[in-house]
Amino acid sequence: MKICFPIAKDNGLESKVYGHFGSAPAFIIADSETGTVSLLDNADLQHVHGACNPAIALAGKSIDAVVVGGIGAGAISKLNSLRTKVYQSKGGTVKDNLEAFNKGALNELVAASCSTGHDHDHGHSCGHH
């Protein structure tokens, strides 16, 4: 299973999970079966706020799951349409969250549970920033 973690700075498995999917400078892709880890630049970093395209961001790579601190409902819907599930990070490092994911300890985020209204805090996202 290939699991994507948005990051700001590449420190391998010790990288901190970034607070928001769309604005993450890069992603770490961890393969839970082979134990391999690869780095992928966010190819959609310059998108308009709220118009993230995960398929572009992930350069068309097939990803089974995304673990993130925060993400918009639209991005969740787009990822789900690519058969990619989205999970709430517990904070900390990629390694911490990969271990939690493998134990089934992360909550799945679904677009229906995210607000889509625009309030003063850009309330169109799930998770924390």
Tell me the pLDDT tens digit for each residue of 42-78. 866 665 555 566 666 676 778 999 999 988 888 899 8
85-88/65-68 β-pairing: parallel
pLDDT of residue 46: 63
**CA distances for 107 relative to 46, 59, 67, 83, angstroms:** 29, 26, 10, 17
Predicted TM-score (pTM) above 0.85: no
**Where exactly are the structural domains of the chain?**
2-123
Q: Alpha-carbon distance 79 to 73, whole Å?
A: 10
Tell me the pLDDT tens digit for each residue of 89-129. 998 999 999 999 999 999 999 887 665 443 333 444 566 54
Specify the CATH class of 2-123 in words. alpha beta
